[in-house]
């Protein structure tokens, strides 16, 4: 074939025209494989034409050149990218009138070749020339959202349109029949329409908002759905599992509900169902919910509340003691330090003292971080507190203290600590901590931390556990998969005899002052 091609192409009077005739006559579609006759002939021609630069499209009249380009365009439904790219380059298809190119894309869509249509439109740079919704909707319904993302990438207006489309499908009143009316030519099977699940769509909207840097305020439906799910989760943790304190629940509920009246009404309804009319009436008063939107019995409960119960009262944190009750000692591992060994670092003087101790050569430093739980309402959180422990004392770096996070040498200190191979840093599952650290200081994303002398105890812990086997070999499991305790708490229990009290793990770490129980946990 190689010898025949070299000799044959040279004998042709119009090689570019003859090549199209040959390819149009070759049997079989490419279907992504690279061994059809047409593919091999095209590859040979591409090699041959490099040595014959006089063979070019500009040697034809304008009408003839356009005719050849149209014929080449008709061969682009072939799914092999090398085949497609070669034709585009040889026949300079990007120079063809965009209206002709768009018409061909529309024809592909009419044949239900949605994947081929989107791939070709990206290759030809036609994104802004086509009907965005006509291009995106079929792909999303066929579970090909990554292709839709590729189509809009780099075009801020199209990125926004994609996110707004997905957000509109998160509306409580959305009905897939609306799509059938909007796109009557689109045949939707049950499998395709099943892809439109509010929970999954919400996840995609929030991910794309972060990826494309789109303001959250333009996606109210996805945020409402995520906040409603978060509210249900908080109700379950507090009144179902009973694993969240009322202080933490109150903080988080106010953050999740915010000033959304619908969510405020949902909160009161859930309190009637899972707690009590008294609690529901207190929160309805707090948010001043209109009488006609109150669940049955709440208005009457409001009227019967004495003045001292009309406000939501929390425990006085000034009464909290460093030493927990005896019952706590019996159940949980206790920090082996007195309160005077725990230092709050929120100003230059305490920071310099922390530096001098933590950066000592040959030392061992325990590292952990806390941040405000957002229950998925925001994809990336920033660090509120960094805990650095040496053998006999702990430093709590308060990044919420006014001006402290912006202190010029703070990032330098973090870099110096993590890059010093002579200081052993101990952590447990540090991936999330480091992600939040990069979100806190953008310069850590631009110039990532150099990690030396790090020991992630999760890896050690996993090696100490029996790893469940499946048919295809070992799989990575959460440490403590079949245990009441998980992660670091399980490791502490296995090595030191008792688990950690994780009640404050999901507390509001941005609220000041921190409670004694939070400081003790940190």
Mean pLDDT of 301-312: 87
Residue 259, φ and ψ in degrees, nearest 5: -105, 25
Check whether 175 has a pLDDT greater than 50.
yes
Buried b or exposed e, range 2-36, using 16+ CB within 10 angstroms = eeebeebbeeeeebbeebbebbeebeeebeeeeeb
Share of the chain above pLDDT 90, in %: 67
Beta bridge partners of 364: 424
Most confident of 77-81, 136-140, 143-147, 158-162: 158-162
Confidence of residue 163 (pLDDT cuts 50, 70, 90): very high
Q: Give the pLDDT of residue 261.
A: 95
Higher pLDDT, 361 or 375: 361
Pair of tokens at residue 432: 């999330």
Confidence of residue 376 (pLDDT cuts 50, 70, 90): low
From CA 127, how far away is CA 158, in angstroms rounded?
8
Check whether 390 has a pLDDT greater than 90.
yes
- Cβ-in-10-Å burial (0-12, 13-18, 19+) of 114 comes to buried
- Give the side-chain half-sphere CA count within 13 A for 409: 7
Closest by CA to 506, choosing from 367, 345, 325, 384, is 384
Q: Give the pLDDT of residue 270.
A: 97
Q: How far is CA 271 from the centre of its chain?
A: 31
Check whether 361 has a pLDDT greater than 90.
yes
DSSP state, residue 369? E
From CA 386, how far away is CA 492, in angstroms rounded?
20
Residue range 93-129, pLDDT digits in tens: 999 999 999 999 999 998 888 999 999 999 999 999 9
Share of the chain above pLDDT 70, in %: 92
Q: Give the pLDDT of residue 185.
A: 75
Residues 6 or more apart in contact with residue 36 via CB below 8 angstroms = 26, 28, 29, 30
Mean pLDDT of 400-420: 92
Mean pLDDT taken over the chain: 89
pTM of the model: 0.77
Q: At which residue do the structure tokens 């972060």 appear? A: 210
Dihedral angle of Cα 53, 57, 60, 61, to the nearest 10 degrees: -140
Pairing of strands 394-398, 383-389: antiparallel
Pair of tokens at residue 76: 């682009």
Question: Cβ distance 223 to 217 under 8 Å?
Answer: no
Residue range 215-249, pLDDT digits in tens: 988 999 999 999 999 999 999 999 998 889 889 99
Residue range 262-293, pLDDT digits in tens: 999 999 999 999 999 999 999 999 999 999 99
Q: Give the pLDDT of residue 28.
A: 64
Closest by CA to 420, choosing from 388, 396, 457, 382, is 388
């Amino acid at each position: 074939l190689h010898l025949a091609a070299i000799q044959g192409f040279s004998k042709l009077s119009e090689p570019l025209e003859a090549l199209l005739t040959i390819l149009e006559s070759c049997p079989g579609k490419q279907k992504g494989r690279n061994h059809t006759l047409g593919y091999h002939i095209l590859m040979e021609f591409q090699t041959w034409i490099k040595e014959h630069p006089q063979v070019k499209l500009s040697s034809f009249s304008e009408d003839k050149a356009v005719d050849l380009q149209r014929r080449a365009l008709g061969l682009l439904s072939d799914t092999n990218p090398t085949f497609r790219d070669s034709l585009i380059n040889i026949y300079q298809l990007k120079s063809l009138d965009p209206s002709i190119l768009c018409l061909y894309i529309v024809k592909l869509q009419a044949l239900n070749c949605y994947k081929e249509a989107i791939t070709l439109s990206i290759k030809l740079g036609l994104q802004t020339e086509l009907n965005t919704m006509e291009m995106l909707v079929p792909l999303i319904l066929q579970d090909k959202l990554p292709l839709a993302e590729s189509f809009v990438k780099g075009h801020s207006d199209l990125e926004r349109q994609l996110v707004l489309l997905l957000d509109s499908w998160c509306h409580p009143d959305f009905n897939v029949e609306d799509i059938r009316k909007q796109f009557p030519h689109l045949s939707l099977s049950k499998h395709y329409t099943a892809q439109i699940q509010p929970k999954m769509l919400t996840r995609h909207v929030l991910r794309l908002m972060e990826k494309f840097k789109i303001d959250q305020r333009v996606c109210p439906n996805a945020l409402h759905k995520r906040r409603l799910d978060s509210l249900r989760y908080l109700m379950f943790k507090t009144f179902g599992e009973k694993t969240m304190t009322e202080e933490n629940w109150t903080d988080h509920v106010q953050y999740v509900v915010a000033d959304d009246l619908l969510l405020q009404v949902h909160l009161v309804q859930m309190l009637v169902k899972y707690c009590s009319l008294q609690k529901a009436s207190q929160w309805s008063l707090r948010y001043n919910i209109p009488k006609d939107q109150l669940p049955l019995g709440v208005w009457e409960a409001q009227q019967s509340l004495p003045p001292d119960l009309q406000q939501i009262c929390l425990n006085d944190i000034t009464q909290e003691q460093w030493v927990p009750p005896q019952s706590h000692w019996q159940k949980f591992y206790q920090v082996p330090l007195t309160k005077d060994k725990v230092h709050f670092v929120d100003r230059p003087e305490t920071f310099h003292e922390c530096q001098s101790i933590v950066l000592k050569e040959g030392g061992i430093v325990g590292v952990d971080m806390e941040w405000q739980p957002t229950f998925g309402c925001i994809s990336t959180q920033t660090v509120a507190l960094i805990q650095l422990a040496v053998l006999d004392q702990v430093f709590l770096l308060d990044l919420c203290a006014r001006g402290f996070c912006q202190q010029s040498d703070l990032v330098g200190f973090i870099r110096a600590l993590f890059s010093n191979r002579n200081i052993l840093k101990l952590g447990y599952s540090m991936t999330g901590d480091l992600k939040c650290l990069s979100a806190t200081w953008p310069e850590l994303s631009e110039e990532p931390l150099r990690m030396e002398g790090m020991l992630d105890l999760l890896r050690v812990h996993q090696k100490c556990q029996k790893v469940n086997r499946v048919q295809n070999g070992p799989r990575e499991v959460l440490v403590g998969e079949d245990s009441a305790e998980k992660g670091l708490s399980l490791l502490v229990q296995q090595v030191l005899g008792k688990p950690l009290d994780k009640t404050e793990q999901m507390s509001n770490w941005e609220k000041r002052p921190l409670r004694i129980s939070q400081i003790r946990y940190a």
